[in-house]
A and B are shown apart, each in its own frame.
Chain A
C-alpha cells in the first residue's frame, strides 16, 4: 500500500489536533467509496449507511492512536468490509431461519436483489466473503496481497476467492445472456 499523500497527512494531523474542518475533508474524501463498498457487500441501503457511519465513528474514536505515516483508507476499509461481512452473514442466517419457519410463504422481497442486471446482479449471488474480496479488488483497487493483510487471510485464500468469485460471476452472466 502506498503511503498517504501530503494533503491527507495534513488532514489527519489537523484532525488529531482538533480541527473539525480537516476531519470533514477526510470524511468527504473517504465517505463515498466506504459507503459504496459497504453497499456492494451487504446490498441493503440502510445497512450500508449504518456500517459506513459506524466505521467513521470508530475511526474518530481511535483517531488519536492512528499513525499518520500510514494511509487512512485501508484502515477505514478494513472496518467497513469486516462489518459488512458480519452483517451479511447474520442476515443470511436470519433469512435461512425465516425460510425454515415460513417455507410456505411467498418471499416478501425484503432480501431481494437490489441490482437489476449485469455484473452487479451477479455479485448478489456470491457469498459475502467472495463479494468482499471482489469489491476490495475491483472497486477499491487493492492488490491481492493488500486484501490478505486487510482481511487477515492467507494470500492463497484471497486469490482463490477472487478466482471463484469471478468464475461464478461469469457463469451467472453467461446464463443471463443465453
Chain B
C-alpha cells in the first residue's frame, strides 16, 4: 500500500448505499424540527431585560383580561407548571359525558360520578356515536355491547385473524371499521355486511372523517395515508409514503387530518393537500384536537430532560409557534378532550395520575391511583405496564 494517499483516495470513493435517497428522507425531518423549534431572536439574545419587562406587561394583560379574551383565544398560554395536589379518588368528572378507558385489564366505562364498570371479558373498546353501544374486541371476536345493561351483547362476529382497533362511524353510526390481522374491514352497525375494504394495511387504528360519514382514513404498510369511500371502496386520495403512524386524528369539522408517528407529525387538509411535517424527538407522544378548531395539543417528550410538555399547534398552512401549556417529569400517555371542549384529560404515567386541565382558565386538577382504579397493581409491575393506554370522552368526533 502506498500509504496515506491510497487510503484517502479509497475512502473518498466510497458512497454510502442509498445516499441520495437517505438525504431526501432526512430533509423533511430536519426541516420539520427547524419549523417546530422556538427560534431565539436577536432581541431575545441581546435584550433580555427588555423582554422581561415586556413579559411582565403581557402577564398583567393576561391576568386583567377575561379568560375568553386571553392572549391566544380560548386556550390559555400556559398553566402553572407545579404539579397540583392529587385527589386520592375519582369522585366525579369535571365535564358531562362518560369515559371509555382501555387499560391492560380491558375496557372500562367511567360515569360522570366517577363510578366505573369493567366491560369484561373484552380486551379493548370504542364508543358508538351517542355512547349507546361499545364496539369491543377480543382475540378473534368483534362485538357490539350495551355498556349500560351489564354489557349485553347485541351482535358478534368471529374472524380467523386477530381483531382489534374497532372504530364506529361518527354520525349515523351505521358502520364499524376494524383491523383483522393486516386486513381493514368494515361491517354494518347491526353486525351485517362484513367485508374487506383493503387487504394489507398498517397497524394504525383507522379514523372516520367527521362530516363525511362514509369516508375512512387509514395507513398503508409503507406509511401512506389513504382516504377511502367505504360505499364502493374507492380511494379518495392517498399520500406519498412516510412513517407508519401510531395515531390518526381528524379535527371536529373533518377538514384537517393529523398522522402522528414515532418521529414525525404530518398534517393534511380534507382533500389530501399536505400542510406540513414536523420532526419529533423520540419518546412518548400523543395528539388531541381542541374542539371546534384546527388547533391541537401535542405531547412532546424530551429525552435530554426526561420531561414531557403539552404544547399547542395549529393544523393550518404552518403549524405556528409552539405554545407551551404544561410540563412535568416523565411520560404523558393518553389524552382525551371533553365533549364540551373545556377540559383536557391527560394521563401522567409516572405519577400514576390523571390530570384534568381546564383549557379556558389556568386550572389543573389531578387524581391519583389511576392504574389501580382500572384493575392494575403497581406492587409487582411497573406503572407504565398497568396504566390505561387510551381514553375517549363521549362523544368524540374522531376516535
Contacts and interface: CB of A to CB of B under 8 A. Distances in A.
Contacts of B11: 40, 119-120, 123, 134-135, 138-139
B30 A23 contact: yes
Interface stretch (A3-11, A57-65, A101-109): A57-65
Contacts of A63: 34, 37, 39
Interface in B1-47: 1, 3-4, 6-8, 10-12, 14-19, 22-23, 25-27, 29-31, 33-35, 37, 39-42, 45
A88 interface: no
Contacts of B37: 60-61, 63-64
Interface in A154-175: 166, 169-170, 173-174
B22 A115 contact: no
A30 to B, nearest CB: 11
Contact of B1 (A52, A60, A173): A173
Interface in B207-261: none
A111 interface: no
Contacts of A49: 16, 18, 22, 25-26
B30 A53 contact: yes
Given A45-B18, A49-B22, A60 B30 contact: yes
Contacts of A142: none
A31 interface: yes
Nearest to A120: B14
Contacts of B14: 36, 39-40, 115, 120
Nearest to B17: A45
Nearest to B12: A139
Contacts of B29: 53, 57
B279 interface: yes
Nearest to B302: A61
What's the dominant secondary structure at chain A's contact region? helix
Given A40-B14, A53-B26, A23 B6 contact: no
A145 B341 CA distance: 60
Given A52-B26, A56-B30, A61-B37, A166 B19 contact: no
B16 A48 contact: yes
A75 interface: no
A83 interface: no
Interface string A54-78: 0011001101110000000000000
A130 interface: no
Interface residues of A, number: 43
Contacts of B281: 57
What's the dominant secondary structure at chain B's contact region? helix
B174 to A, nearest CB: 44
A14 B187 CA distance: 54
Contacts of A123: 11
A174 B6 CA distance: 14
Interface in A105-147: 114-115, 118-120, 123, 134-135, 138-139
Given A18-B39, A134-B7, A60 B34 contact: yes
B30 A166 contact: no
B16 A45 contact: yes
Contacts, number: 106
A138 B30 contact: no
B8 A31 contact: no
Contact of A169 (B1, B18, B42, B279): B1
A166 B7 contact: yes
Given A23-B30, A36-B15, A169-B1, A119 B6 contact: yes
Nearest to A59: B30
Nearest to A56: B30
Given A35-B19, A61-B37, A56 B7 contact: no
A45 B1 CA distance: 27
A16 interface: yes
Contacts of B31: 20, 23-24
A24 to B, nearest CB: 7
B10 A118 contact: yes
Contacts of B30: 23, 27, 53, 56-57, 60
B34 A119 contact: no
A63 B37 CA distance: 10
Contacts of A56: 26, 30
B26 A138 contact: no
A27 B34 CA distance: 12
Contacts of A120: 10-11, 14
Interface of B: 1, 3-4, 6-8, 10-12, 14-19, 22-23, 25-27, 29-31, 33-35, 37, 39-42, 45, 279, 281
The 8 tightest CB contacts between A and B, nearest first, are A119-B10, A39-B16, A64-B40, A138-B8, A49-B22, A139-B11, A45-B17, A56-B30
Interface of A: 15-18, 20, 23-24, 27-28, 31-32, 35-36, 38-40, 45, 48-49, 52-53, 56-57, 60-61, 63-65, 114-115, 118-120, 123, 134-135, 138-139, 166, 169-170, 173-174
8 contacts: A23-B31, A49-B22, A49-B26, A53-B29, A53-B30, A65-B40, A119-B7, A134-B7
